C-alpha cells in the first residue's frame, strides 16, 4: 500500500508535464504571486550533475548501484544511493527509493518483474547479512542492471526533488530569515555549479525539514546550511555554501551517538563538498564566475 500511495502521489504531481520540456522550464505565473525560486539546467548540465552524484556516491562503480553501507539499517540504491527500508524498519532518515520507483514507473521505465510485484514494497533483505547472502542472485543483478540503465531518469528525479523543495525550505525558516534565504537560493541557482550543490545536498542530506533528522535538536539538511551561510556577499555564493555545509556536517558528526560518523563518514562528507564547483567551461559554454 505504501508503494501504491507513493505512485498515486507522483502521478498527480506530474500530471500535465511535457516530457519534452527540459528541467527548469518556466511555469506560468499568476499576477501578484510571489516569485518562486527555480532551478534551471540544460540537458548537458543535467547529465553532468548526474555523473557528479554517481561519482560522489559510488565512485562511478556499477556494482555500488545496489549496496549496503556499514553501520546502516537499510540498503542504498541507484546513483543517489536512495534509501530503502526493510519491512518493519522505521528509520530516522527520509526514505527515497519508493518515490524514485514511482517516478520511474510513471516515466515508462522497464521495471524488473520481481520488483514491480513486490508486496509490501520494502527492501526484501531484513539486514546486511541477508543482503550479502543474496548479493549474487538473479534479482540483485536485475536490479543493478535496471538502475544502470535509468541513470538519466534518476538524475531528473534528483532535480525534481530539489526544485520542489525550495519553497518549502524558505517557508520553514524563521520569518526574519526568509528574504535572506531566498537571496542565497537565487545566487546559487544562477550557475550550474550552484544548482549541482543544491541538488546533491538535498539528495545527500535532505531538505532539513523532517523532525526525525535531528541530533540533539539540530538538523543537517539544506535548510540548516542556508541558515548557516555567511552574509558576506563579497564571497561567491558557492564558496559560502561549501563552508556552511562543512560547519553543519561537522556539527552533526559531533552530535552523533555513533562514533562511525566522526571517525569514518565525516572525512568523506567534507571531501564531497569540495566537488561543489562550476563545471568545465566546455560544458557550460562560457566562463563561470569564481566559486
Q: Are 144 and 211 members of one domain?
A: no
Burial 176-199 (b: 16+ CB within 10 A, else e): eeeeebbebbebbbebbbbbbbbb
Domain finish residue from 152, 183, 214? 152
Q: What share of the chain has pLDDT > 70, as a percent?
A: 84
Q: Are 66 and 177 members of one domain?
A: no
The DSSP symbol for 74 reads S
Q: How far apart are CA 77 and CA 83, in angstroms?
A: 7
Whether 88 maps to a domain, the answer reads: yes
Q: Are 197 and 124 members of one domain?
A: no
225 and 245 Cβ atoms separated by less than 8 Å: yes
Total structural domains in the chain? Answer: 2
pLDDT at 287: 42
Dump pLDDT digits (tens) for 118-146: 999 999 999 999 999 999 899 999 999 99
Q: Record the pTM.
A: 0.84
Dump pLDDT digits (tens) for 170-218: 999 999 999 999 999 999 999 999 999 999 999 999 999 999 999 999 9
Q: How far apart are CA 269 and CA 277, in angstroms?
A: 15
Domain finish residue from 135, 152, 169? 152
Assess whether pLDDT exceeds 60 at residue 31. no
Inter-helix orientation angle 151-172/43-58, to 10°: 90
Whether 103 maps to a domain, the answer reads: yes
Amino acid at each position: 500500500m505504501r508503494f501504491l500511495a507513493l505512485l498515486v502521489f507522483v502521478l498527480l504531481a506530474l500530471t500535465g508535464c511535457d516530457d519534452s520540456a527540459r528541467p527548469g522550464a518556466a511555469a506560468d505565473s499568476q499576477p501578484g504571486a510571489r516569485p518562486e525560486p527555480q532551478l534551471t539546467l540544460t540537458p548537458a548540465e543535467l547529465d553532468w550533475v548526474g555523473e557528479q552524484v554517481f561519482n560522489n556516491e559510488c565512485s562511478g562503480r556499477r556494482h555500488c548501484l545496489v549496496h549496503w553501507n556499514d553501520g546502516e539499517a537499510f540498503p542504498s540504491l541507484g546513483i543517489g544511493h536512495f534509501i530503502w527500508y526493510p519491512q518493519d524498519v522505521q528509520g530516522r532518515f527520509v526514505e527515497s527509493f519508493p518515490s524514485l520507483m514511482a517516478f520511474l514507473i510513471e516515466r515508462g521505465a522497464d521495471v524488473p518483474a520481481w520488483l514491480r510485484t513486490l508486496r509490501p514494497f520494502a527492501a526484501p533483505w531484513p539486514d546486511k547479512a541477508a543482503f550479502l547472502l543474496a548479493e549474487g542472485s538473479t534479482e540483485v543483478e536485475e536490479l543493478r542492471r535496471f538502475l544502470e540503465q535509468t541513470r538519466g531518469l534518476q538524475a531528473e528525479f534528483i532535480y525534481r526533488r530539489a526544485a520542489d523543495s525550495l519553497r518549502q525550505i524558505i517557508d520553514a525558516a524563521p520569518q526574519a530569515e526568509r528574504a535572506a534565504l531566498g537571496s542565497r537560493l537565487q545566487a546559487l541557482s544562477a550557475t550550474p555549479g550552484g544548482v549541482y550543490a543544491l541538488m546533491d545536498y538535498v539528495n545527500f542530506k535532505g531538505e532539513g525539514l523532517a523532525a526525525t533528522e535531528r541530533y540533539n535538536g539540530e538538523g543537517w539538511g539544506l535548510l540548516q546550511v542556508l541558515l548557516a551561510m555567511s552574509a558576506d556577499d563579497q564571497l561567491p555564493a558557492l564558496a559560502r555554501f561549501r563552508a556552511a555545509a562543512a560547519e553543519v556536517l561537522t556539527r552533526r558528526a559531533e552530535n552523533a551517538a555513533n562514533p562511525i560518523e566522526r571517525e569514518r563518514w565525516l572525512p568523506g562528507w567534507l571531501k564531497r563538498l569540495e566537488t561543489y564547483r562550476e563545471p568545465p567551461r566546455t560544458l557550460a559554454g562560457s566562463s563561470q564566475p569564481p566559486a
